[in-house]
Structure formats: structure tokens, C-alpha cells
Structure 1
Amino acid sequence: MMSRLPAPFLLALLFLAPAQAQTPADVTLDPAFGGTFFNFPVGVRHAGDGSGRRFVIERAGRIRIVDAQDQVLGTPFLDISSQVDTTFEGGFLGIAFHPDYASNGRLYVKYTFDGNAGPATHLVTRISRFTSPTPSANTMPAASEQVLLEVPQDFNNHNGGDLHFGSDGYLYIGMGDGGDGNDPCNRSQTLDPGQLLTCGNHATTPAKALLGKMLRIDVNATTPAGSNNLCAAGGDGSARYALPADNPYVGMGNRCGEVWSYGLRNPYRFSFDRDTGDLWIGDVGQGTWEEINFEPAADAGGRNWGWKVCEGNWQRGSTTVACSLSGHSGPVIEYRTGQNNNCSVTGGFRYRGPVASMTGLYVYGDYCSGRIWFASETSPGEWTPTEFGGLTGFGLVGFGEDESGNLYMTRGNGQILIFNGDTAVLYSIGGTVSGLEGNGLVLQNNGGDDLGIQDNGSFAFATGLAENATYSVTVISQPTDPLQECTVANASGTVGTDDIDNILVSCVTQEDEIFEDRFEQ
């Protein structure tokens, strides 16, 4: 988003090079959910709980449910519109369901609120957790909110937007540079909270050093009061989150431990490849270049994406002078602005759904022109974009996946579209669970398709696989209360021309095993 454009909620600039290849001929972009319109939908998400529900994020502060039969439920799943401030680029911008949502009912959200007691609006970004006592329910108690962290914005734009869980189980949060234009407070390149400029709205606190960064936190743990290098902790040093031990700046007194990477202008939309765990960041540019950044799943963090010294692979504002910033990580795709009505990149997803011809393509678009592109990896590390087609008018706000990998696109006018096409025959991967007494059993297929199990009997993962695909099922969370150990038989193999239904998950209560061992002795 960029403040100098007059239309509300604009992102910022992009022009695509001429297409190099043909897009799949079978793919169409069609109205989803019976053509229902929503109130400024900014994204579509799923809970990963096997319910088939789609959760539509409305910028004003509501989440709407579309059930497995494509029916839009009348009652919002969550309504916090009284707390959300949509001034300029603010609003209810992102949600992320905990990987174990089916058992713990935890939802994480990102929104802005007015943190100024006076007449002028001074936005603050808030990350909160909501918890449902019944995860299968179609409403989330608004009163269950617990605030995890808050970051004051220097200005009312460049708020980022997305938050997602990575395949490592940690929560990633994209933070914009604090706003205005050209990062006047130099937040993106400032890692030391002791060197923050006194600039913009709000008091200058260590939390402002989180602006212009990608954050990575552990929401399954907390931080006690005391000395640490959390920049968004409470006054006594405590926090409702902890730091992953392998974050790049853990324990460094002149750095914020929450930071995973830096040098971002406004990572409004980012995503993880559900198959590989790779991170894709759509970072909105200032006035010359837009960029799509790529980080492999095995990355150790600490990357500098370059802003505000650079835009894309170039010095900021230049089309001829290459970026000279030492240690700069350049984008895999970059764009110019000012042609064909392009103005602002909307990052998308790498396609992993049922349309066979789209498999592996990275899909993204432009907010103003409504144009959409598919990018393919033409050689290792080299991505070639091809224009798919466009929409009438601006307002391409976001993308989203459902449990099966179907890809949706949302528009500011309320419309949601879905990519359709010829599908490969997919076979279900499943089997039977026996002996389960405890809670919290989670299975995983191929390192990324998680499935919470609550009862004995048959199960199947949400994502089917095509013929000749391989599968490997593991237990990533053992049951508790009572404590059990579950093992998997027939855990791996290759898909043929029928469903896989012979995976056997057997659970044994550990106290029973101890008793039996003692009896035998």
C-alpha cells in the first residue's frame, strides 16, 4: 500500500515484463460460493480441521463462514468490528488458525486500532489470540481475546497484513515500515532498538524496531517476567509468546529477538508453499519497483530484503543502478510501475490444488489493474511470469487456499472468485485409528498436510494425491490426558489407482505399558 495514491486501501506499484509462455488453456476464473458478495473481503483461509469450511476475512472486522456445501452462514464466525479501525490502509487484515486448531481451538488475528485518545487517528497493529472451547462450532467467542503483541505505526499506512504458520509450527507476521513514503523514520534497516529515530505518531518504544520486518514467534510457549530481548514484551518483560531458539537475533541485547528478516517496505500478502514450506513475500514498492521475494524452507533467517536502500534489485528509485547494499537478498520477480494501470502487487500462493495444469505455478496479481500472473520456475531459481488475464477495474485485494488447495481471489467490491480447470484424479490417503483415549493426536502426511484426530475409526487427509505420488504418514503430536504413544503401520508408499485406506494408527496408554513391564519382571 502507498499513501500517495488517492484510492483507499491501495498497496503500491507494479509492471510486468512481456509474457514468455502460454497460460494453461483449461483454467478459468469463476464466481465462488454461488456468486455471493461480501463486505470488502481481504482473504480466504481454512482451519485445517477437515470440516471443509472456508473463512472469509472482511476488512471491517468480521469473519464469515462458507460451509462445505458452499452455503454462507448468516452469523459471523467472529465479529470485532467495534475494535477495528479501517482508517487509510488499516483494518482486519489477516488471520491464521493454529496447526492444532481441531484440538485447541486457537485462532490468531492481525488488525489495527486507534491508539490515540485525541481527535486524530494514530493506528496501532495488534496481534491477538482467540480460543474456542468447541473448535467445530461456527462461532468464536469474541470475549476470549488475548493480546499477544502491539506495534505502534508511525503513520496510518504500510501496516503489512498477513500472518501465517510455517511448516516449523511458528507464527510469522509481516510488518510494514510504519508508513508515509520512503520510510522517513528508517525503520526497515534499523535493527538496534537503541538507535530508533524519534519520528511519527506515538512514543518511540522498542516495538517500533519491529516495523519493516518479518517476525517469527512461538505461540505455544510464554516468556516470564525478567530481562530478555523481546521488543514487544510487557513492561516487566513478560509476553504471551516466546522466541524460537533458532531465531537469528535471540539473546542479542542490541536486537529484537522476534525479527526473522528485515528490509521490507510493506509485505501486505505473503504465503507458505504447503508442499515445500518455502516462503513467498509480495512486498509493495515505493514508486519504481515491485518485488516478489523467495525464501527456501531451510533458510536460517536474518535476510536483508533491501528497503529502503534498494527497491527490487536496484538502488531505490533507479532503473539503471544495481543495488549495492552488502548482503542484500534480491527478489526472484520484480516489476516496474506506471504502465497498463498497474500500481500495486498483491502476493499470492504457489498452486497445490486439484487443477493439474496449475500445479507448482506461483499466482499473484495487481491491485489497480486487476491483472493476474502465473510464474513458473523455468530453471533452478529462475521464475518466468505469464499473464493469465485481468478483471475490470481495480481492487484485487487478496488470495486464499482451502483445505484441498483450491485457490481463491478476493476483490474490494465484495466478489470472490475461484480458479477452476481440468483436475487430475486424486486418491485419498487414510486408514484407521485404534486404541485412542487421549486428546491432541495429530497426524501429518508428506511433511505438511496435518490432520487432528479426535476419535477411533477411519480417517483421511484433506489433500488427495495423484497416481504415482508418494505418501509418508507420521505422528507429530501424541495424545495426552491420558498420555499415549501412537505408532503408524503401513505409513508410506506410492499411490496406485485406488484410495489408500490401509494405514494403521495404534495407540497405547503409556501407564498400561509401564504396568505390563513391571508385571512381566
Structure 2
Amino acid sequence: MLTTTFTTTGTAGAAVPAGFTDTAVISGLSSPTNAVFAPDGRVFVSEKSGLVKTFDSLADTTATVTADLRTQTQDFWDRGLLGLTLDPAYPTRPYLYVLYTYDAEPGGTAPRWGDQCPTPPGATDQGCVVTGRLSKLTIGTNGVATGAEQVLVTDWCQQYPSHSVGTVAFGPDGNLYVGGGDGASFNFADWGQRGNPCADPPGTAGTNLSPPDARGGALRSQSPRRPAGEPETLDGAITRVHPDTGDTEIVAYGLRNQFRFAFRPGTAEVWAGDVGWNTWEEINRVTSVTDAAVENFGWPCYEGSARQSGYDGANLTLCESLYSTGQTTPYYAYNHSAPVVSGDGCPTGGSSISGIAFETDSNYPAAYDDALFFSDSSRGCVWAMQRGSNGLPDPATIVPFVTGVNVPVQILTGPGGDLYYVALGAGQLRRVSYPAGTNLPPTAVASANPTSGTAPLTVQFTGSASSDPEGGALTYAWDLDGDGAYDDSTAANPSHTYLAQASVTARLRVTDPGGLSGTASVVITVGDPPSNSPVVTIDDPTAATQWSVGQTIPFAGRAADAQDGDLPASALSWQLTLQHCTSSTNCHAHNVQSWNGIAAGSFVAPDHEYPSFLDLTLRATDSDGNTTTETVRLNPRTVDLTFTSSPSGARLVVGTVEQATPFTRTVIVGSANTISAPSPQNLTLGLRFRFASWSDGGAQSHTITAPASPATYRANYQLCLFGC
């Protein structure tokens, strides 16, 4: 299936409750991940690539580059510059703290891989191993970092391209608190059986680990429970870090990917959103980071409140010993297949909890006082868990707050006590206000004369008809070239000359003294851009192409338009996206890799659970800036694997699901799948049986590579004659 689109400026397109407004306060960002508000009005913003930018205020439309960490940051899949916070004593202590995927293997130096993962080793096969890094930047009075970064911590060995680092935030005790995921596979139950590059015990780097004693892969999240003398890692943990010395101490662990967390105001409580595997998203409450007790939230032995079948079935010692004592259960969890709130309009299936924030000093209605806000980047929604009678957020009173967000990756409170959120997909920082308070937003009115004509076309814009209900003086910011950034004029009534054929949406943003904004737009047509936009053709691969894991797929394409003729390779860019689906109509995207300035190349098809498919998009930009994209959908080759047992009826674990035999699973050819045969089990006539062998000769828990043809795997059990 091929699709072609013309570029327009992206917006979050979100809906809020009656009486609220949702406005973009900073636009034109490239994959933003964090925003931080400084007491002097500055706004620091991080981008996934490794850039940190500074805006002098919310009305500033031109960013200053504070720091460029792109060389040492790996921006690949879910890796990148993901955490940012400001010293609470700023500007007396002019420090900004950054948390990013450090593009180096343990003990190595960056850059190791660049923003890619070649095959071999393969992103989802052996993995391109990197680490995480927390650094301290000194910010000058001009908003630019001075001197070299001060590295505080380098840790978080990460084999696979997700579950990287996440949040860095200051606690009430003046220390930093940092989160990092397990760095393990999201496709199979990972205990270190794929090369063990992080040198987890009881083996060494390059030595595959096996149950029951394996303590690698996702089990790094349980490293504080390793035997004495074995290394304790920061993977899957929330860690206290001294902001000057980098000294570390784990305060909570047993987490899979606690991408975002926040302190409840006035307390030492941490509330963390933990991204689940295929079933549960969690909100976990650390009751006090200053207590001596260190809480264990159970991953990978548990997901939600239940045992995780993929790891439980492997009879791993670290899990079996935890089952006798139990985990700290989630404060709240929601199932991937269920709505958070009935009728909230948010899609179910794919889920990734991606933001945590508390209401603080807003003018919102009383029902939102002390509410816990949380977001899901896959569902594109923000909810409010309202305060209960005990003063804590009440899971029984959750209401939808913002729906239809274009990939929310952070929520926070800021000026005016309002909730702000970073929409990575829209490239925006947005603000949710309640105008029913003392300050109402201004009304923007934009007009243009003329609105069409041949190039060169000089257009006089008028914005002076805009107004503020309170009569406050307005500031003006125009996006006259249609690039999404309000950085072309601050005059009320500017003019602009268009030199090339195009259809441009010019936008005006007016801001009142209280920081509230209103926007308006007008379309300027110069010539006839549709006939002059590039025509894009993807020659290879075609929609008929089907791929298996590890297969090299060549690609080639071209573009031309009436004015420029054939466009050069420098005008082309490619994006490979993996669409992870829970049904035929419910998918969410993971950007895998991009290429700029080439007409042809190749990629290696990644491993992923089924159902999923790949989108390959070619974008062409002509000399006038007109842009067209074409996308080809590439479906995987699949195979049915049948699982039986002797005697029949045994409960086997494949991936994340346990099921009684016989049953069949559809998987992608070449994919890695963990299978386990729990033992002992009550089978025929209720008698006790123990595991004896698999038909493929594998261990009781092992990983299989899906063959090209249907196959059957049989688990054999023996009767326990003298007890099991």
C-alpha cells in the first residue's frame, strides 16, 4: 500500500474538558523530550538528538543552542537525550543536568555506533550495546553552556534499543533522582542468553546465560538481590545521585522502564510510571526516598500484580526466591486491552505510560486540587487521578484531561500553575489553561492583502485587530514562512515577500501579560503549488515485498517536479518506522532509522513480536521548499508454530503468555521466541508430572528462532513416581 502526502505544519490536535484551553507555547521543535522552567522566565528544552535549547521566555520565538551533545548521544529507536532538570538554586548554582544514552559500550568512548545499529550485531539480535550518562552543565548568563560537561554517572548497560534512561529530577533533600530502564529485549524473555555483553553473572561477557541461575538481561532490574560480591547495576532502578560528586545509592528497583516519575509536592514520595510489556502499565509509589528501606517492584518476575509468565516459566532463581516474599504492588495499573476511563476516546492496545505530574497552585477547578496527571504516548492521552479522602490520588476517580495528543513524552507544571506537556510528534510544548479564572486568553485576528498572486508576491499582514479581554498589551509573533516557528516578525502589522510558488499557512500568535496566547492563520497562495510539488516514486521495495527478521531489504527512489526536473539525492530523505499493532486498526509507531541525502540504500529487517509491519517513507523537497512524501507498507512473512505436550494439556509459556496445549502461535519468520515448560504440573488423572525434554532438544526454558515453514514443538513430561 502506497500513500502520498503534502507536508503541513503539525499540531497536537488535542481536546480538553469544557472551560479549558490547550495552546502551543513553543513550536517548531525537532523531537522534543523535556522542558524545564527557570525562575527567571527562561525555558530549557531538550531534543532527542542531543540538543539543548533555551528560550528567554514563553513569548520568545528564537531559541539559543545551550549545548550540543549530539556526538556522544545515540539517537536511535527509543534512545537519545531523554532527561533534563535545572538546579533548584539556579541562577546562584547555574547548573543544568542532562541524562542521555551515551553512545559507547561499558568502559568505551563515544561515538561507537552513531545514530544506527548495523547488522551484525543487529538492533534486535545481538544488540548495539551502549550505556547511559548523567552529566552536569554550567550555564552562562547568555543561556549557553560554558566549559566541558561534568560527568556524574556512566552506567545503565543497555543491549537493546529501548528501555534506556529517562527522568532526572531533584528531590526535597537536594539530591538528584535518576531513572533508567532494564536495557533488555522487548521481544523475548531476556535473561542474558544473547551474548551477555553486559557481563552479568554468573557468566562473563560473551558467555550466554541459562536458567535457573542467570542474572542478566531483564534480571538486571533485580541486581540489588544478587549474591554478595556481584555487581549492582542501576538498570531498572531509581537512584539517588549527589549533584556535585555523582555518588549513587539505589532507592527503588524491580522496574522495567520507569521513563517518567515525579515527587508529590511537600513529600519525599516518588510516583513513577513504569512501561509494561504486553499486559500492564503501572504507577508505582515509593513512599519515601529518605527511608532506609529500598522497595522492589518486582520486574521481571512480576508485571502488574501478577507473576510474569515468560520469566516465571523459566524457574529463575532470582524470581523463585522473590515469589516467596512478594513485591511492592503497583499503586495503580491499567490493562493494555482496557480503557483507562470508559468512553475516554483513547485507543486501547498499545500502551506506554509516559508522563507523571501533580497539580500545584493552579486556578483549575477544585476537583483537580492535588490531582496526579499521567500520560500515555501510545494512546495519546492525559488523565487526571483526582485526590481521595485520604489526600492521596484515588484510582477510583480518574477523568480524561487531554485526548488526541501527538505523542506526549513529558507532563509538568509551570507558569501560572498550569499543566504543560511536551508533544514529541508535534514538535511542541503545549499549555493547558483554565481561562475561567482571573485572566482570559487573548483573541488573535490575522488578515492579509493580497492572499494570492504570482511570485514575487508582497503581502501586507494585519494583526492589530487582535484583542485581550482584560485590555492588556499584546505581544506579537508571526510565522510568515509556514515552517511552524513563530520567528519571522514581532510587529503587529508586518509585510513579507514570497519569492517562489507555494501554498503557505501564515500564522499569528498573540500573548497577553499573563502568558496566555491565542493563534490565528491565513493561507497565502503563490502560483499553483500542487502542480509544482515534487512527484515522489519509491521504486524498491514494492508493497508486495514481505520480510523476515534479519533480511537485508534494498531501497531506491526518486523525485522530480516541473520546475527543477529530476531532484538530486540531496533533496531526498528516508524514514523507516515499525508499526506495532494490537489489532488491524490499532498500531503505534517506533521510528527505527532515517537516512538523509541518498537515493538508494538498504536496511536489515528488525525483530519484533507479531502483529507488526514496517513503513518506509521517502520525502522529497524541491528548490522552493515544497515537500511531498510517499510511504510503502511492508508486511512480514509469518509462520504458525504449534505447541503440544505429552501428556496433552500441559501449560506452556511462549513469549509472555501461558496456555494449555495444544495451541498455535503466529510469529514473524526469523523472530526470537522464548519457550518454557513449567514443572511440575498436574496432568493426566490429576497425577503429578515433571518436565523431561523438548522435541527440539532445547533446555526447559530456551529461545527458538522461528523457521520459514510451520513447525511443532512438543514438551515431554514424565510421571513423578516418587515425588517431584
Partner of 2:178: 173
Partner of 2:420: 408
Partner of 2:98: 109
Structure 2 counterparts to residues 293-312 of structure 1, below 5 A: 293-297=284-288, 300=291, 301-312=293-304
Alpha-carbon separation, structure 1, partners of 2:331 and 2:18: 25
Structure 2 counterparts to residues 443-462 of structure 1, below 5 A: none
Alpha-carbon separation, structure 1, partners of 2:250 and 2:416: 32
Is 1:364 aligned to 2:378, yes or no? no
Partner of 2:270: 279
Alpha-carbon separation, structure 2, partners of 1:325 and 1:283: 23
Contiguous gaps of at least 5 residues in structure 2: 1-15, 106-111, 122-127, 192-216, 311-321, 339-346, 440-724
More strand by share: 2
Partner of 2:331: 332
Greater RCO, 1 or 2 (C-alpha within 8 Å, sep 6+): 1
CA contact (8 A) 2:179 2:258 kept: yes
1:361 deviates by 1.3
1:420 deviates by 0.7
Q: For the structure 1 residues 423 and 219, does the alpha-carbon distance in structure 2 shift closer, same or farther, using more than 3 Å as the test?
A: farther
Could you tell me which amino acid in structure 1 is paired with residue 92 of structure 2? Answer: S
1:401 deviates by 3.0
Alpha-carbon separation, structure 2, partners of 1:423 and 1:65: 31
Is 1:75 aligned to 2:67, yes or no? no
Alpha-carbon separation, structure 2, partners of 1:397 and 1:333: 20
Q: For the structure 1 residues 77 and 359, does the alpha-carbon distance in structure 2 shift closer, same or farther, using more than 3 Å as the test?
A: farther
1:180 deviates by 0.8
Alpha-carbon separation, structure 2, partners of 1:68 and 1:242: 34
Is 1:144 aligned to 2:156, yes or no? no
Is 1:131 aligned to 2:124, yes or no? no
Q: Secondary structure at the match of 1:187?
A: helix
CA contact (8 A) 1:275 1:352 kept: no
Is 1:87 aligned to 2:76, yes or no? yes
Alpha-carbon separation, structure 1, partners of 2:34 and 2:99: 12
Q: 2:255 aligns with which of 251, 264, 274?
A: 264
Structure 2 counterparts to residues 328-407 of structure 1, below 5 A: 328-338=327-337, 340-341=347-348, 342-357=350-365, 358-380=368-390, 381=392, 382-383=394-395, 384-391=397-404, 395-402=407-414, 404-407=416-419
Could you tell me which amino acid in structure 2 is paired with residue 189 of structure 1? Answer: Q
Deviations along 1:273-303, one digit per CA (max 9) or x if unpaired, are: 3343431101100111100112334751401
Partner of 2:203: none
Alpha-carbon separation, structure 2, partners of 1:140 and 1:73: 17
1:60 deviates by 0.8
1:404 deviates by 4.5
Alpha-carbon separation, structure 2, partners of 1:30 and 1:82: 33
Deviations along 1:24-66, one digit per CA (max 9) or x if unpaired, are: 6422322223xx221111121123xx21112111111112223
Alpha-carbon separation, structure 2, partners of 1:149 and 1:349: 25
1:194 deviates by 5.7
Partner of 1:153: 158
Partner of 1:434: none
Q: Secondary structure at the match of 2:386?
A: strand
Deviations along 1:86-116, one digit per CA (max 9) or x if unpaired, are: 1221100111212222112122110112215
Partner of 2:247: 242
Greater shift, 87-96 or 397-406, is seen at 397-406
Deviations along 1:457-489, one digit per CA (max 9) or x if unpaired, are: xxxxxxxxxxxxxxxxxxxxxxxxxxxxxxxxx
CA contact (8 A) 2:21 2:435 kept: no
Q: For the structure 1 residues 51 and 399, does the alpha-carbon distance in structure 2 shift closer, same or farther, using more than 3 Å as the test?
A: same
Could you tell me which amino acid in structure 2 is paired with residue 98 of structure 1? Answer: D
1:396 deviates by 1.9
Q: For the structure 1 residues 168 and 403, does the alpha-carbon distance in structure 2 shift closer, same or farther, using more than 3 Å as the test?
A: farther
Alpha-carbon separation, structure 2, partners of 1:69 and 1:367: 24
Alpha-carbon separation, structure 1, partners of 2:223 and 2:95: 33
Q: 1:187 aligns with which of 207, 212, 220?
A: 220
Q: Secondary structure at the match of 1:408?
A: strand
Could you tell me which amino acid in structure 2 is paired with residue 242 of structure 1? Answer: D
1:69 deviates by 4.8
Could you tell me which amino acid in structure 2 is paired with residue 303 of structure 1? Answer: E
Partner of 1:30: 23
Alpha-carbon separation, structure 2, partners of 1:325 and 1:178: 26
Q: For the structure 1 residues 293 and 155, does the alpha-carbon distance in structure 2 shift closer, same or farther, using more than 3 Å as the test?
A: same
Q: For the structure 1 residues 376 and 69, does the alpha-carbon distance in structure 2 shift closer, same or farther, using more than 3 Å as the test?
A: closer
CA contact (8 A) 1:373 1:388 kept: yes
Q: For the structure 1 residues 95 and 386, does the alpha-carbon distance in structure 2 shift closer, same or farther, using more than 3 Å as the test?
A: same
Structure 2 counterparts to residues 462-501 of structure 1, below 5 A: none
Partner of 1:42: 33
Alpha-carbon separation, structure 2, partners of 1:71 and 1:277: 35
Alpha-carbon separation, structure 2, partners of 1:32 and 1:105: 25
TM-score norm. by structure 2 comes to 0.45
Q: Secondary structure at the match of 1:191?
A: helix
Q: For the structure 1 residues 292 and 423, does the alpha-carbon distance in structure 2 shift closer, same or farther, using more than 3 Å as the test?
A: farther
Q: For the structure 1 residues 195 and 423, does the alpha-carbon distance in structure 2 shift closer, same or farther, using more than 3 Å as the test?
A: farther
Could you tell me which amino acid in structure 1 is paired with residue 299 of structure 2? Answer: W
Q: Aligned Cα RMSD in Å?
A: 2.8
Could you tell me which amino acid in structure 1 is paired with residue 22 of structure 2? Answer: L
Q: For the structure 1 residues 298 and 153, does the alpha-carbon distance in structure 2 shift closer, same or farther, using more than 3 Å as the test?
A: closer
Deviations along 1:413-444, one digit per CA (max 9) or x if unpaired, are: 21222111046669xxxxxxxxxxxxxxxxxx
Greater shift, 102-111 or 273-282, is seen at 273-282
Partner of 1:255: none
Q: Secondary structure at the match of 1:30?
A: strand
Alpha-carbon separation, structure 2, partners of 1:24 and 1:294: 27
Partner of 1:122: 129
Greater shift, 309-318 or 345-354, is seen at 309-318
Could you tell me which amino acid in structure 1 is paired with residue 373 of structure 2? Answer: V
CA contact (8 A) 2:408 2:423 kept: yes
Alpha-carbon separation, structure 2, partners of 1:356 and 1:371: 19
Deviations along 1:196-221, one digit per CA (max 9) or x if unpaired, are: 9xxxxxxxx936x211111002224x
CA contact (8 A) 1:64 1:73 kept: no
Contiguous gaps of at least 5 residues in structure 1: 1-22, 197-204, 221-239, 244-257, 427-521
CA contact (8 A) 1:42 1:58 kept: yes
Rg: which structure is higher? 2
Q: For the structure 1 residues 275 and 421, does the alpha-carbon distance in structure 2 shift closer, same or farther, using more than 3 Å as the test?
A: farther
Alpha-carbon separation, structure 1, partners of 2:238 and 2:185: 19
TM-score norm. by structure 1 comes to 0.62
Could you tell me which amino acid in structure 1 is paired with residue 152 of structure 2? Answer: L
Alpha-carbon separation, structure 2, partners of 1:356 and 1:275: 19
Alpha-carbon separation, structure 1, partners of 2:235 and 2:324: 20
Could you tell me which amino acid in structure 1 is paired with residue 377 of structure 2? Answer: Y
Alpha-carbon separation, structure 2, partners of 1:355 and 1:293: 28
Corresponding pairs, count = 351
